[in-house]
Amino acid sequence: MTSVLSGQVAVVTGAGRGIGRAIALKFAAAGGDVVCVSRTAENSERVASEIRQGGRKAWAHAVDVSDSKAVTAAGEKILNEAGRVDILVNNAGIARDGLLMRMSDEDWDAVLDTNLKGAFTFTKAFSRAFLKQRSGRIINISSVIGLMGNAGQCNYAASKAALIGFTKSVARELGSRGITVNAIAPGFIETDMTSSLNDEMRTELVKRIPLNALGKPEDIAEAALFLASPAARYITGQVLTVDGGMVM
């Protein structure tokens, strides 16, 4: 693979598994150095170790993305360690599914705090550095659920739809300094979240996808690499849907 990210440092939240891990590994394979952020030190260090074994630099940070003070402190430490940050991928996310009438305030708050506030806190933490260097790529991982909604996921859908509005607004704020801000809306991807589906549920799900298959984390990682690469220099404020054709 060509080193399209050579000399660049990327921060990936939710890097411990699934889509975040795939993005972190893809960026490293493209020549980038990667800061792996996860809720647990074990998960972040495991992926960072994989990257180091491949010959790239990697740092591991255990951070609760919804904790503003913790994110601010982590941001300062990351800039000191790595020297700079060129790419930020806001991928950290959780789901606490349930019907509206039965949903607790705690489940609503937890999903919004992680999925939406987490992107806000990390973007804010690195925005000054991006502005100063007059460059930067911010990629927010939304979801097709934020575009079409889904019964039993009003909190998740709200967080992912809001992330799209956040993306477009920040793209307008930072664009004059050469900073691009885009979102990716994955469809149903083979991750821990979908591994619990039984055969009947999986069959019904695949029927809704024109390409007749679930996606893989690498599909999202390829899209993220494109948006982080020089090829996407003139793309900002957009939502790239990677879903096998579910949302058209």
User: Which of 122, 156, 166, 188 is flagged as catalytic?
Assistant: 156
59 touches 82 (CB < 8 A):
yes
Q: How far is the C-alpha of 179 from the C-alpha of 124, rounded, in Å?
A: 13
Short-list 162, 163, 161, 181, CA closest to 171: 181
212 touches 203 (CB < 8 A):
no
Q: What is the length of the chain?
A: 248
Q: Note if 156 is an active site residue.
A: yes
Q: How far is the C-alpha of 9 from the C-alpha of 82, rounded, in Å?
A: 7
Q: How far is the C-alpha of 236 from the C-alpha of 20, rounded, in Å?
A: 21
| Cross-strand pairs, 12 | 36, 89
Task: Name the H helices within the chain.
Answer: 18-29, 41-53, 68-82, 105-112, 118-133, 145-148, 154-174, 192-195, 199-207, 217-228
Long-range contacts of 114-117 (CB under 8 A, 24+ apart): 114/65, 114/66, 114/159, 115/156, 115/159, 115/160, 115/163, 116/159, 116/162, 116/163, 116/166, 117/65, 117/66, 117/68
**Which residues 6+ apart lie within 8 Å of 49 measured at CB?**
58
Q: List, by residue number, the catalytic residues.
A: 156
